[in-house]
Amino acid sequence: MNYNSLEACLNDLEKHGHLVRVREEVDPFLEMAAIHLRMHEAGGPALLFENVKGSKFRAASNIFGTIERSKFIFRDTFQLVQELIALKDDPVQAFKHPIKNFRAGMASLKALPLKNPINKPVLYQQIQISDLPLIQHWPMDGGAFVTLPQVYTEDVDAPGIMKSNLGMYRIQLTGNEYDLNKEIGLHYQLHRGIGVHQNKANKNGLPLKVSCFVGGPPSHSLAAVMPLPEGISELTFAGVLGGRRFRYIYEDGFCVSTDADFVITGEVYPGENKPEGPFGDHLGYYSLQHPFPLMRVHKVYAKKNAIWPFTVVGRPPQEDTNFGELIHELAGSALQQEIPGLKEVNAVDAAGVHPLLLAIGSERYTPYMPVKQPAEILTIANHILGTGQLSLAKFLFITADDTNHLTTNRVQEFMEYVLKRIDLKRDIHFHTKTTIDTLDYSGDSLNSGSKVVFAAYGDIKRELCTEVPAQLKELIGFINPQLSMPGVVTIQAKKFSDYETAHKEIVGLNEQLYNEIEQLNSVPLIVVCDDSNFTAANLRNYLWVSFTRCNPSHDIYGIGAFTENKHWGCKGPLVIDARIKPHHAPPVEKDSVIEKKIDRLFEKGGSLSGVI
């Protein structure tokens, strides 16, 4: 379906049994988010809240709550977009098979945005920030946030919609020091196009004009998170995916999406920041309060019967997980075309996406050598860490598979493949004092931390243990060893206090295990944690704890560790200290009072009873 509005999409979902209406009054303070989370966890339908306390506007969530529903929304254009991306990677195909590719070529005509359309529904009324559904998602959040915004900016040196940037950066509407209805907070992270635009505006001493679109056809939301090359407008992608040209006008010098349900316009002046946050984010922790750009509100528009879309992020998997899956399916081999030798890559959602990246490359450099060892995959690893948002990866596991049977999508199988082959003396490569994801608090300051590459290739060096070795069962200072997966043992230690104490604790561990190195060959990785029962309970817990709570340069140790010619390695098991540190952000947790309060909607007779 080529939806011309968010409501058209929601009506279609309802017609096909993918949406339920919540008619009871619901509170935007924690309650709506709690209902969304419970419905999403159950794999339930999209939600349309028809009676939002304190607002005349309706709200919708869980629209992209399952990958099946997400693909259903784009069922008429999904394959066409895949064909177009494939043609970009290999344009010669268009000449070899002109009839086969005719449909894709015609679909690309929808890419050109349409200026000054006849209908401009979003200009129906001018409202204030306080009129919106002011949704607070988690108990410690700093206020109400926009969680599905499409934030639009232009390059002041090359203005116009074709050089614009559309990104999904959270917007804080209330709380902290913001003057209600006059100021809002604009949060964006590293490697985002808006940063380039603000930098240019600052150099010219000009305010950056910002338009925040909310709602509209669902293709606009997906376009805002699509990782397109700098200089290519996401609005062209929105047109092709939605089968409908992006419609816009300029009002008071601001670009306005006429199909949006709401538009907030404003300006960001050089050097004007205010505290933004905290906010329960997609790593499963709160991103804390920090100074971020202040946006002075100019005007707020809403269409007639506008609907406010929102989502809730937290410990993955959440609704935003499906955005990643859609992008991966749509993009196909585009990334492999950009990075020679790369076969496959997976930013592991269970670990918060950026903390853990798995990759499969090629090994073609020295086929004449009798001993297989990492060569080309090291080059590929460097290319990955220099490419767009992949550069935010903190842990990169990369290997090559001559049989082409291995996939990064089967995470445990991939990890076992690497751990069987990794040479702990040779295959660990650190990048220190570098940038990491803004939302990752494992580093030593905001945006600052380290990375590590595990590049393993060659013959199997060990079989992985399938039970905890005896040597790890009677340690002093470390208790309750548990097997997280073959080859990985989690052990519990007392609460982390400081790094000086931690180093002494690991020295003690090394002293106990150094003489057991040969017997521990089947254990390439030991994870020190706060709760080994929780960490080892399932793969999801192991991935989340191990890779979100570790700063590689500070928290990776090794039994029999050494440094030789600036290269670090270890003779025995690698040790990751994944305990919570004092500087870490707290994990998000549900409010028990709110959970009990929403039971009324899910019990027999409630509006959602029988749905999940």
| The pLDDT value given to residue 105 | 57
The separation between the first and the last C-alpha atoms of the chain, rounded to the nearest angstrom, is 27
Classify residue 253 by burial, with Cβ atoms within 10 Å: 0-12, 13-18, 19+. Answer: exposed
pLDDT tens across 55-78, in order?
999 999 999 999 999 999 999 988
pLDDT in the model for residue 608: 85
* CATH placement of domain 470-577: 3.40.1670
Q: Taking residues 368-393, what's their average pLDDT?
A: 88
Contact assessment for residue 486 and residue 522, using Cβ atoms and an 8 Å cutoff: no
What pLDDT is attached to residue 439?
86
98: exposed, middle or buried (Cβ count in 10 Å: 0-12, 13-18, 19+): exposed
Residue 265 has pLDDT above 90, yes or no: yes
Model pLDDT, residue 445:
86
Give the chain's length. 612
pLDDT at 259: 97
Range with top average pLDDT, 86-100, 381-395, 455-469: 455-469
**What is residue 3's DSSP assignment?**
-
Residue 69 has a pLDDT of 95
Superfamily of the domain at 6-310: Electron Transport, Fmn-binding Protein; Chain A (2.30.110.10)
Tell me: pLDDT of 93 over 50.
Answer: no
Cis check: omega of the bond before 217, within 30 degrees of 0: no
List for the chain the helix, strand, coil content (%; round to 5).
30, 25, 45
Q: Between 445 and 382, where is the model more confident?
A: 382
> Residue 577 in contact with residue 506, Cβ under 8 Å?
yes
Residue with tokens 């001493």: 205
Measured distance CA(47)–CA(38) in Å, rounded? 11
pLDDT tens sequence across 568-588: 999 999 999 999 999 999 999
Mind listing the pLDDT tens digit for each residue in 148-200?
Answer: 999 999 999 989 998 898 999 999 999 999 999 999 999 986 556 788 888 88
DSSP 204: T
Q: What pLDDT score was predicted for residue 468? A: 97
CATH 3.40.1670.10, the chain: domain bounds: 319-455
Quick check: helix, strand or coil at residue 17?
A: coil
Please report which confidence band the pLDDT of residue 336 belongs to, taking 50, 70 and 90 as the band edges.
confident
Average pLDDT over every residue of 463-479: 96
The predicted model gives 448-456 an average pLDDT of 96
For 319-455, CATH number out of 3.40.350.10, 3.10.20.30, 3.40.1670.10, 3.40.50.920 equals 3.40.1670.10
pLDDT band at 107 (very low <50, low <70, confident <90, very high): low
Predicted local distance difference test score (pLDDT) of residue 248: 97
The helix/strand/coil state of 93 is helix
Given a cut of 90, whether residue 542 has pLDDT beyond it is yes
**pLDDT at position 102, please?**
43
Give the Cα separation of 441 and 468 in Å (integer): 31
Contact 246, 239 (CB under 8 A): yes
CA distance 420 to 426: 14
Cα→Cα distances 264→7, 167, 261, Å: 19, 14, 10
Mean pLDDT to the nearest integer, 323-347: 83
- Rounded Cα distance between 254 and 213, Å, is 12
Which residue spans of the chain are classified as CATH 2.30.110.10? 6-310
- Give the model confidence (pLDDT) of 216-260 as tens digits: 999 999 999 887 765 567 899 899 999 999 999 999 999 999 999
Q: Which of 488, 589, 578, 485 is nearest to 530 (CA)?
A: 578
> Would you state the pLDDT for residue 110?
78
> Which of these ranges, 3-12, 437-446, 474-483, has the smallest mean pLDDT?
437-446
Question: What pTM does this model have?
Answer: 0.92
CA 502 distance to own-chain centroid: 31
What's the whole-number average pLDDT of the chain? 91
